[in-house]
Amino acid sequence: MGVFSKNTTTNDTSIRVDESKVDTAIQKKRSIESNESNGTTIQSAELALIQIATHTLEKVAQSLEGKNNIKIPIEERAAFAQAMTKAMNALAKQA
C-alpha cells in the first residue's frame, strides 16, 4: 500500500495518509540534502521523483480500472497525456 489509501468504509470516500511512509520519505529527503557534497544529490533526487511518479501512476491506473465510474473531462485527459509523453521522451533520452 502506498502513502495514500482510500478509506474502505462504505460511505466514507476520504483518503488517509500512512504517516510512517511519509516519515520515511522525509528522512530520505533529509539524507539526500545532507549528502550534497558527494555529487549524487541531483541523481538521487531525480531517481526519487521517478520512483514517486511510478508509484503514483500505478495508483492512478488502479483507480481508473476500479469499479467507480470516473468521468474525466477531455481537457484533463489531454493534459495528462501530454505530460506523460513529455516525461517518457525525457526518460528515453536518458538511456
The domain limits of the chain are: 4-68
Q: What percent of the chain has pLDDT over 90?
A: 16
Please tell me the distance from the alpha carbon of residue 9 to that of residue 12, in angstroms, as a whole number.
Answer: 5
pLDDT at 1: 43
d(CA 56, CA 23): 18
Q: What is the rounded radius of gyration, in angstroms, for the C-alpha atoms of the chain?
A: 17
C-alpha cell at 66: 476500479
SS3 at position 33: helix
Kindly report, residue by residue over 18-60, the tens digit of the pLDDT.
777 777 777 776 776 666 555 555 567 888 888 899 899 888 8
Which among 16, 6, 17 has a CA at the least distance from the CA of 68?
A: 6
For 15-26, write each residue's pLDDT tens digit: 666 777 777 777
Residue 76 has pLDDT above 50, yes or no: yes
Q: What's this model's pTM, rounded to 2 decimal places? A: 0.50
**The three grid cell numbers given for residue 62, joined into one nine-digit string:** 488502479
The Cα–Cα gap between 35 and 41 comes to 7
